[in-house]
Amino acid sequence: MAGGTKADGVLLFPLLLFLSLHCSSALKSSDADRTFVIDYENDQFLKDGEPFQYISGSIHYFRVIPSNWRDRLKKMRMAGFNALQTYVEWSSHEPEPGVYDFTGMLDLESFLKMAQEEDLVVILRLGPFIDAERDMGGLPYWLLNKNPDMRLRSSDSSYLTYVDDWYGNVLLPKIKPLLYENGGPVIMLQVENEYGSYPDCDFAYTSHLRDLVRQGVGDNVVLFTTDGDGASYLKCGKIPGVYSTVDFGSGGDAKKSFAAMRLFEPHGPLVNSEYYPGWLDHWGEPHSTLDSEVIAKTLDDMLALNASVNMYVFHGGTSFGLTAGSNMGSTFQACPTSYDYDAPLSEAGDPTEKYWVIRNITQKYLPLPSGDVPPASPKYTYGNVQLSPVGNVLQMSTLLQSLTQQYPLTFEQLSVASGLVLYETVLPFRISDPARLSINEVHDRGYVFVESRFAGIVSREQELYDLALSALPNQTISIVVESQGRICYGSQINDFKGLTTNVTINGNTLENWKMVPIPLSNVPRLSSALKRLKFKVTTSGISPQELLATPQGGMTFYEGSFNVPDDDSHPQDTFLRLDGWGKGIVWVNDFCLGRYWPEVGPQVTLYIPNGVLMKGPNTLVVLEYEVSPCVLPDSCLLTLQDKHVINGPTPA
């Protein structure tokens, strides 16, 4: 203390030591009183010894920019919800082997602590597989590089080696201090995810995961599984020593849906771990919506049974970048960038009519917090953005590293997570005119060029694998292959991308392929490649028309800028509309918004959160794959508007 004497310090030290020990003891005593357990005798949860029913909502931290986390959490709390449920996405946190990222949108610990500050306990779904309509269900793509024959989600040792390292050395040490018993918000941990829907039914695997989690976090935290509301799902999803819960949607008999759970958990609280207020979308299919009153009725029925419920999702957010996955129904179905899900909070975080209907139900069972619900964020029309072409993918490929092999390699073999790979070979023999080019397994969409002239598209989604081709000996055949997201659910999640089989012309196999990955998911590498491309274009005197890879302006990069007013009300949320554009990707200020494809819908606009923008000049980069309005310079425009359109028209 300033101005004190040595004697003062001697007398003060024992007092400080006493206070320190006393506070430490009080803290330990307080933590010791923090318990969350299952009361099997009374079919309920107990939190700190008192009966506890949770109404939870799913919000995925990796689908919301950090500056919006608190807004979304607060709005959910103000709807009467007392718990947050979120997944942990392994692929985002370990994008390459041994490379970890827990920063920015991936700062899991900060997100969970913020939930606690907003008076929410946390139900954490650890994976390692999560589905969530994410690329490969949240599993890292590089597992398929390590062992192409790896049996994912199984006791295959080549798979478990990486799971054990991720859980034991990285994830669980971060989670343990955040457990409820340790003063944190986490009351429950999920083991795997809907494993009863996966064909392997590998009990050695699920038991191994259970033991791995227990070893990492101790014996006190409640572990649970989630499966569909049928005995056939729970038969393979049930793990001894782990509490089984179910998931189901609205409109049915809640008691009947819980009956399957009671076959496997005769006692304990009823839990619906995924109650659906909406549903997922696919490109080219109508936007999914569910009736608010029907959702409210089933929610009321479940809560009246004293069931705990998690709403999947309360706020869906956005699959920014190239993180959206795909499904395999009767054919391949890619998921759009928007994860609005017709949820109570819209993609932009605005309370919907459904929000208020649900809030009227929750307040019957749990007290609403005091205060007002935060309003919808302001939206702004920043107007038209003029763009101009800066070069195309074929030109850029000459500036990037390539690899040559006899036969084409997959994205995974090339250590490419997502985006584009250019495959190129020289035709060594004479062919008929036209000839049949066959790519029986293109994953997922291929743009074919002959001597840099666009020849057509092959598509997994449309099951178009053959193309009429005219070419002469010694001419170059180029195929730019796009990954539209790996399959996120079911038995085909080991979804290799690129040219996954040989390419033939009239039955003759083409060999000696040069492959060039285009670095779309690595912003620093992409920015560097664009700078080199612009320098090459500037110094070589290429005409504006030669900047376009196709006469329609496809496979070409475009740049522009727009201004955000310099006043306290800005920046505001806005939405990017792409009338006249075909299919591609957009970056704003080096932040990848994601994929667009308005021609097939239902998503027409891309959401731009205010946190991505800055006052003054903002940059915008577009990679258009197919067709742009830029053949006429005055038409090379995008629009930033204040209305989101995610229910646009889709093909008949």
Query: Per residue in 66-75, pLDDT tens?
Result: 999 999 999 9
Identify the residue whose tokens are 């040490």.
Answer: 173
DSSP states of 363-392: TTTSPPPSSPPPPPPPB---EEEEEEEEEE
pLDDT at 602: 98
3-state secondary structure 13-57: HHHHHHHHHHHHHHHHHHHHCCCEEEECCCCEEEECCEEECCEEE
The model's pLDDT over 37-72, given as tens digits with 9 standing for 90+, comes to 999 999 999 999 999 999 999 999 999 999 999 999
Instruction: Exactly one of 133, 274, 347, 626 is catalytic; name it.
Output: 274
274 as an active site residue: the answer is yes
CATH topology agreement for domains 383-390+524-641 and 401-518: yes
- 21: pLDDT strictly greater than 80: no
Instruction: Exactly one of 89, 94, 118, 194 is catalytic; name it.
Output: 194
The pLDDT > 70 percentage for the chain reads 95
The model's pLDDT over 578-600, given as tens digits with 9 standing for 90+, comes to 999 999 999 999 999 999 999 99
Domain 383-390+524-641, classified CATH 2.60.120.260, yes or no: yes
- Asked if residue 315 lies in contact with residue 349, where contact means CB atoms within 8 angstroms, the answer is yes
Across the range 90-106, mean pLDDT stands at 98
- 242: pLDDT strictly greater than 80: yes
- 17: pLDDT strictly greater than 70: no
**Out of 30-44, 188-202, 204-218, 551-565, which region has the weakest mean confidence (pLDDT)?**
30-44
- What is the pTM assigned to this prediction? 0.94
- 7: pLDDT strictly greater than 60: no
- 122: pLDDT strictly greater than 60: yes
Confidence of residue 633 (pLDDT cuts 50, 70, 90): confident
What are the domain boundaries of the chain? Answer: 27-362, 383-390+524-641, 401-518
Identify the residue whose tokens are 């915008």.
Answer: 620
In this structure, what are the phi and psi dihedrals at residue 69, rounded to the nearest 5 degrees? -55, -50
194 as an active site residue: the answer is yes
pLDDT at 31: 64
Q: What is the CATH topology of the domain spanning 27-362?
A: TIM Barrel (3.20.20)
- 22: pLDDT strictly greater than 60: no
The model's pLDDT over 413-455, given as tens digits with 9 standing for 90+, comes to 999 999 999 999 999 999 999 999 999 999 999 999 999 999 9
Q: How many helices (H) and strands (E) does the chain have?
A: 14, 33
- 8: pLDDT strictly greater than 50: no
Provide Rg for the chain, Cα atoms: 27
For domain 401-518, give the CATH number: 2.60.120.260
pLDDT at 581: 98
- 30: pLDDT strictly greater than 90: no
Confidence of residue 32 (pLDDT cuts 50, 70, 90): low
pLDDT at 544: 84
The count of other CB atoms within 10 Å of the CB of residue 3 is 5
Q: Where are any strands of DSSP class E within 214-335?
A: 222-228, 243-247, 271-275, 308-315, 326-328, 332-334
